[in-house]
């Protein structure tokens, strides 16, 4: 009788944990699932360094020419040590070293020396446009990820211990969370500006014409005619739900880091957002798209396909509302589990 009672308590405990935690984290074979996530994370880290080597190699001529035709008047702090040296030769050496370190890290990502070397040299490369009075947003995410990956634990491939695999996955997850936090910061300020405009009773980011005004102002400043910009300026009501969707997706992005079922969905949405930014404003973010492909689309923690109706129940904030509506109608996918909790 006691064993039956304990068994019943155990079943209810698993049901409760599954509902509150979004399901059994690793299923019935936790170590196998952990090993799979570790293998995918390790693979994605190599892809990051491969993309880094190609990226730096492609921008080598731009870094060289930028200094050749417009020598910096004052070096940014990472390059202060190069004052008095032939700056063109310094930039060329740093750029080649950066691409080399990235290639070596791709070949052997377990080597701390190659990862540290790449993190330092990519920071020095990013300091070049800053020294010229410009900002290259493409470097920012790359620098942060490079420094996070410095903290990847030393592993021995498939023979790595359980804690090493877990630490590896946590470090990779930290890179995902940091990148998504950048989007949340952008969404926060968009939402904050929108609420401030509402409080003042003036049009703002929540206004139906918000995106249309932004596009018109951008085209007037840059004297450009983006492919879809003029159309949405004249049909701003079509852009309104898209703009609100972007604010929502950016604002709650950090929560997605802790919801693996949404990793790919958010990755695709943000890629569409960056593509739309180019079509509407001619602002390109190719490096951001590459990072989203590596960290989010190929996320090692995504356990099931993202294009399922159940995925909607995991949406931050909106998922709770949808769940309540389905529970009231008795059509929630986990309705039986919810009834099982009624006696707890």
- pLDDT > 60? residue 15: no
Percentage of residues in the chain having pLDDT higher than 70 = 84
Tens of pLDDT along 99-144? 999 999 999 999 999 999 999 999 999 999 888 888 778 888 999 9
Q: To the nearest whole number, what is the mean pLDDT of the chain? A: 84
Is pLDDT larger for residue 212 or for residue 253? 253
pLDDT of 30? 61
Is residue 248 scored above 50 in pLDDT? Answer: yes
Position 249 scores a pLDDT of: 94
The predicted-structure confidence for 57-107, as pLDDT tens digits, reads as follows: 999 998 888 888 877 778 889 999 988 889 899 999 999 999 999 999 999
Residue 331, pLDDT above cutoff 50: yes
pLDDT in tens, 48-62: 999 999 999 999 998
Per the CB < 8 A criterion, the answer to whether 168 and 115 are in contact is: no
Record the tokens describing residue 63, joined without a space.
Answer: 């870094």
Q: Which sign does the torsion angle of CA 257, 262, 267, 273 carry?
A: negative
At residue 333 the predicted structure's pLDDT band, cuts being 50, 70 and 90, is: low
Whether 182 has a pLDDT exceeding 60, the answer reads: yes
| pLDDT value for 17 | 44
**Mean pLDDT over residues 286-314, rounded?**
86
Q: pTM for the complete prediction?
A: 0.83
* Mean pLDDT across 152-179: 87
Instruction: State mean pLDDT over 206-219.
Output: 86
User: Looking at per-residue confidence, does 65 or 14 come out higher?
Assistant: 65
Tokens 């950090």: give the residue: 254
Residue-level pLDDT at 203: 83
In this model, does residue 2 exceed pLDDT 90?
A: no
Can you give the three-state secondary structure of the chain, one letter per residue?
A: CHHHHHHHHHHHHHHHHHHHHCCCCCCCCHHHHHHHHHHHHHHHHHHHHHHHHHHHHHHHHHHHHHHHHCCCCCCCHHHHHHCCCCHHHHHHHHHHHHHHHHHHHHHCCCCHHHHHHHHHHHHHHHHHHHHCCCCCHHHHHHHHHHHHHCCCCCCCHHHCCHHHHHHHHHHHHHHHHHHHHHHHHHHHHHHHHHHHHHHHCCCCCCCCCHHHHHHHHHHHHHCCCCCCHHHHHHCHHHHHHHHHHHHHHHHCHHHHCCCHHHHHHHHHHHHHHHHHHHHHHCCCCHHHHHHHHHHHHCCCCCCCCCCCHHHHHHCCCHHHHHHHHHHHHCCCCCHHHHHHHHHC
Q: Report which of residues 91 and 5 the model is more confident about.
A: 91
- The pLDDT value recorded for residue 49 is 97
User: What pLDDT shows up at residue 41?
Assistant: 94
Report the distance separating Cα 124 and Cα 136, nearest Å.
13
Q: Can you give the pLDDT at residue 68? A: 82
């Amino acid at each position: 009788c006691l064993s039956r009672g304990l068994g019943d308590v155990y079943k209810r405990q698993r049901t409760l944990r599954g509902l509150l935690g979004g399901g059994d984290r690793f299923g019935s074979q936790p170590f196998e699932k952990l090993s799979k996530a570790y293998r995918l994370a390790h693979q994605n880290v190599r892809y990051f360094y491969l993309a880094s080597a190609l990226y730096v190699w492609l921008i080598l001529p731009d870094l060289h020419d930028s200094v050749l035709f417009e020598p910096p008047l004052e070096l940014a702090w990472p390059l202060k040590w190069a004052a008095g040296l032939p700056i063109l030769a310094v930039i060329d050496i740093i750029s080649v070293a950066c691409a080399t370190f990235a290639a070596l890290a791709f070949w052997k990502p377990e080597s701390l020396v190659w990862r540290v070397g790449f993190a330092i040299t990519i920071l020095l490369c990013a300091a070049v446009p800053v020294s010229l009075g410009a900002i290259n947003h493409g470097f920012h995410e790359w620098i942060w990820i490079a420094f996070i990956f410095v903290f990847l634990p030393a592993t021995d491939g498939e023979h790595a211990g359980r804690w090493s695999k877990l630490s590896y996955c946590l470090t990779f997850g930290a890179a995902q969370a940091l990148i998504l936090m950048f989007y949340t910061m952008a969404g926060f300020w968009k939402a904050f500006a929108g609420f401030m405009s509402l409080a003042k009773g003036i049009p703002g980011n929540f206004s139906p014409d918000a995106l249309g005004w932004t596009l018109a102002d951008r085209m007037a400043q840059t004297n450009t005619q983006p492919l879809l910009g003029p159309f949405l300026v004249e049909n701003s009501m079509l852009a309104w739900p898209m703009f609100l969707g972007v604010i929502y997706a950016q604002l709650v992005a950090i929560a997605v880091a802790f919801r693996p079922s949404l990793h790919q969905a958010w990755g695709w949405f943000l890629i569409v957002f960056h593509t739309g930014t180019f079509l509407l404003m001619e602002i390109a973010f190719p490096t951001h798209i590459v990072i989203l492909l590596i960290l989010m689309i190929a996320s090692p923690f995504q356990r099931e396909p993202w294009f399922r109706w159940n995925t909607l129940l995991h949406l931050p904030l909106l998922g709770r509302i949808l769940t309540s509506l389905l529970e009231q109608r008795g059509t929630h996918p986990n309705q039986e589990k919810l009834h099982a909790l009624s006696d707890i």
